[in-house]
């Protein structure tokens, strides 16, 4: 395959991928899109104000580095389009996906040249094209490409793939001829720069140096200037194991660094690690067998591993990983890509599937780790079928790509409509509380906005009844589902008073609060409840609402989020402004850096023309914002400059 045919094949592959993803571009906004994008007013920038770009870049609360590269791209699209448009953002994600696939193809071609230095260049190009196709057509990646906010994961993958390609390209030459100090320094600087750029997309970009070391020990194995270097080989293995030792040392000496966040989780560190051992095998299964029925946005139906034998597959999964690694190590001379793919996969998952108290399951975590597996799978296809006829060698990999493409199209079509996506997820995961809740939420949303969806009176009633049925089924399946209890209370209060005393749902929610670990979805439900109680739309006995609010404050003392809920309630009942400001001021004494509460206090003072207090609170915002991330928001509070005044 010459250059011209390669370019044509790349163009056709990119066009096919675009066509398969096209239905999903019209899909909805999703969960994390709302706080990070739609409700992030700092992305609404004036393109000619330089500091607006800075504050937009730092406007994400995700991760310690705040992922500024991805946020800048969102701000840029909003500036060009005039607003954040879901279709445009998903199209941008698709373009990044194609660019990542192109980089993966280049990386794969360099890898194959290392493994088979005397082989045909045309064959290497063909196998690299297969690797890029296997990865680009992977149905599991739909939940990255068509989920706008997951551009963060894409940026990290983009620069990590570029860095690995650079290293492999240069290292192949060094294995034969060595390298000068200046050349080593230049490559080190480039890798450092690409690592920084990857980490500014998402923090797992910091794994690039570790992946470089994994490439070194699995493929080059200390080869330098046409000779084996035991020193270089030993250094490679030391650097490969060093992050593990460092992580264990940190866990031993500063356990709160990892363990502090588990207070807000329903599992422990040990349970998380045991479950991840099983989950990583499940991810592998989904990557090689496109079982789209097992895929979805919600995986809270996953059984947590409470011990080695609960469930029994835990011990099996846990022992299988070292067996596979030892086998790959023993076969590294004959099958080096197996060790490379396994190390790539495990290192790629190490940050998000390791010690940190993150959510247990997310499909987008496979976006980068699956790249090494695609490279290995393409090489395996080529090795196994090259011994057969040319027709077999081409048709079987092509057929597998067509199967992947077919399942990809089914999945992107599902993602084209919010209700269809929610219903399919609920069917695929019938035991998932979140999946069932998502369907009920969509029905409720359409009931409340009938004109937007063209619903007549009868259809509205059907949607309302279906929403209530699902909320109640959720409660029956999980008595601790606070969101369903709150929605049942609001629905029965407003639309089904004949069903009985709606306040029983409020009593059950109040009871559940005593042991509930609140999640983001619970805060959203509680915020809706505060407005409903305060505005009188929800029927309740005298004092019941106040008792509920007091329970929240006792259960979560000093929590800024709970203070915000209390404030929402006080505003809804039109409580005296002095009472509202007293609540905010007391909370800010304990949490002075909670800017959201301070902005509410600025609004309260501004409504009474107490401009001295407004400026004092603005000063306090800056005093607790050393990096001036809130500057553009503050500037929006004072739109009139000296030049505007008469």
Q: What pairing do the DSSP bridges indicate for beta strands 223-224 and 227-228? A: antiparallel
Q: What is the pLDDT of residue 645?
A: 40
**Residue 224, SS3 per DSSP:** strand
Model pLDDT for residues 73-104, shown as the tens digit of each residue: 999 999 998 889 999 999 999 999 999 999 99
Task: Encode burial over 319-333: b for 16+ CB neighbours within 10 A, e otherwise.
Answer: eeeeeeeeebeeebe
CB 470 within 8 A of CB 443: yes
Angle between helix 336-350 and helix 208-215 axes, rounded to 10 deg: 170
Q: Mean pLDDT, to the nearest integer, of 101-110?
A: 96
Judged against a pLDDT cut of 90, whether residue 374 lies above it is answered with yes
Mean pLDDT, residues 628-642 taken together: 72
CA atoms of 220 and 176, how far apart (whole Å): 11
Average pLDDT of span 23-48: 90
> How does pLDDT run across 53-75, given as a tens digit for each residue?
999 999 988 888 999 999 999 99
Reply yes or no on whether the pLDDT at 256 is more than 80. yes
Residue 78's alpha-carbon distances to 74, 439, 589, in angstroms, are 6, 29, 36
Distance, in Å, from the CA atom of 53 to the CA atom of 297, rounded to the nearest integer, reads: 31
**How large a percentage of the chain has pLDDT more than 70?**
97
**Each residue of 518-566: pLDDT tens digit?**
877 788 888 888 888 888 888 777 778 888 888 888 888 888 988 998 9
Q: Hey, where are the domains in the chain?
A: 3-27+85-414
Distance CA 570, CA 566 (A): 6
Distance, CA of 328 to CA of 324 (rounded, Å): 6
Distance, CA of 69 to CA of 431 (rounded, Å)? 37
The DSSP secondary-structure symbol of 37 reads I
More confidently predicted of 140 and 261: 140
pLDDT tens digit sequence for 382-427: 888 766 666 676 788 889 999 999 999 999 999 999 999 999 999 9
- pTM beyond 0.85: the answer is yes
Average pLDDT, the chain: 90
C-beta neighbour count of 507 within 10 angstroms: 17
Query: Is the peptide bond prior to 311 cis by the omega test (within 30 degrees of 0)?
Result: yes
Contacts 24+ apart (CB under 8 A), 285-290: 286/140, 286/363, 286/366, 287/138, 287/140, 287/366, 287/370, 287/373, 288/373, 288/377, 290/138, 290/139, 290/140, 290/403, 290/404, 290/407, 290/408
pLDDT at residue 257 greater than cutoff 50:
yes
Q: Is 263's pLDDT higher than 90?
A: no
| Tokens matching residue 265 | 């989780």
- Residue range 330-339: average pLDDT? 92
Encoding tokens for residue 599? 């902005």
């Amino acid at each position: 395959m010459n250059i011209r045919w390669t370019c044509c094949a790349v163009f056709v592959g990119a066009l096919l991928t675009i066509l398969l993803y096209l239905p999903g571009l019209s899909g909805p906004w999703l969960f994390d899109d709302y706080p990070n994008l739609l409700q992030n007013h700092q992305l609404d920038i004036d393109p000619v104000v330089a500091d607006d770009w800075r504050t937009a870049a730092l406007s994400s609360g995700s991760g310690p580095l705040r992922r500024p590269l991805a946020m800048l791209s969102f701000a840029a699209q909003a500036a060009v389009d005039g607003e954040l448009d879901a279709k445009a953002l998903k199209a941008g994600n698709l373009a990044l996906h194609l660019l990542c696939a192109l980089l993966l193809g280049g990386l794969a071609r360099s890898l194959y040249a290392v493994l088979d230095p005397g082989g045909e260049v045309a064959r290497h190009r063909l196998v690299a094209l297969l690797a890029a196709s296997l990865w680009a057509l992977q149905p599991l990646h739909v939940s990255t490409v068509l989920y706008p906010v997951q551009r963060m994961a894409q940026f990290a993958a983009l620069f990590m793939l570029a860095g690995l390609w650079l290293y492999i390209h240069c290292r192949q030459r060094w294995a034969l001829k060595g390298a000068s100090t200046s050349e080593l320094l230049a490559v080190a600087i480039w890798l450092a720069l690409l690592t920084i750029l990857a980490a500014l997309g998402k923090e797992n970009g910091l794994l690039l140096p570790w992946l470089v070391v994994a490439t070194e020990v699995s493929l080059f194995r200390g080869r330098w200037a046409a000779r084996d270097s035991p020193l270089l080989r030993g250094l490679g293995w030391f650097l490969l194991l060093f992050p593990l030792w460092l992580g264990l040392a940190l866990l031993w000496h500063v356990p709160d660094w990892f363990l502090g966040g588990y207070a807000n989780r329903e599992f422990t560190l040990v349970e998380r690690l045991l479950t991840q051992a099983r989950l990583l095998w499940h991810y592998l299964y989904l990557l090689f067998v496109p079982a789209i029925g097992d895929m979805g946005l919600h995986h809270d139906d996953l059984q947590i591993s409470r011990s080695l034998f609960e469930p029994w597959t835990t011990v099996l999964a846990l022992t299988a990983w070292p067996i596979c690694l030892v086998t790959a190590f023993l076969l590294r001379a004959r099958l080096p890509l197996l060790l490379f793919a396994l190390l790539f996969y495990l290192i790629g998952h190490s940050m998000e599937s390791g010690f940190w108290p993150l959510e247990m399951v997310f499909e987008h975590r496979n976006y980068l780790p699956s790249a090494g597996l695609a490279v290995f799978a393409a090489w395996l296809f080529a090795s196994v079928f090259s011994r057969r006829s040319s027709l077999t060698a081409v048709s079987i990999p092509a057929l597998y790509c067509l199967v992947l493409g077919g399942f990809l199209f089914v999945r992107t079509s599902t993602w084209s409509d919010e209700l269809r996506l929610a219903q399919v997820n609920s069917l695929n995961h019938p035991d998932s509380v979140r999946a069932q809740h998502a369907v009920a939420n969509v029905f409720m949303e359409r009931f409340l906005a009938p004109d937007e969806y063209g619903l007549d009176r009868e259809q509205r009633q059907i949607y309302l009844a279906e929403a209530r049925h699902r909320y109640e089924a959720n409660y029956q399946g999980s008595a601790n589902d606070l969101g369903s209890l709150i929605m049942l209370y609001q629905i029965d209060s407003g639309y089904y008073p004949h069903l009985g005393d709606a306040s029983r749902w409020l009593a059950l929610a109040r009871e559940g609060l005593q042991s509930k670990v609140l999640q983001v979805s619970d805060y959203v439900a509680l915020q809706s409840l505060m407005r409903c109680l305060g505005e009188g739309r929800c029927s309740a006995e005298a004092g019941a609402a106040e008792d509920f609010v007091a329970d929240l404050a006792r259960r979560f003392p000093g929590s800024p989020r709970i203070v915000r809920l209390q404030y929402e309630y006080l505003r809804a009942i039109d409580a005296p402004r002095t009472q509202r400001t007293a609540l905010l001021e007391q909370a800010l004494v304990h949490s002075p850096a909670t800017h959201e509460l301070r902005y509410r206090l600025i609004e309260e003072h501004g409504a009474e023309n107490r401009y001295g207090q407004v400026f004092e609170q603005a000063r306090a915002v800056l005093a607790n914002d050393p990096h001036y991330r809130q500057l553009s928001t503050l500037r929006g509070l004072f739109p009139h400059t000296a030049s505007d005044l008469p």
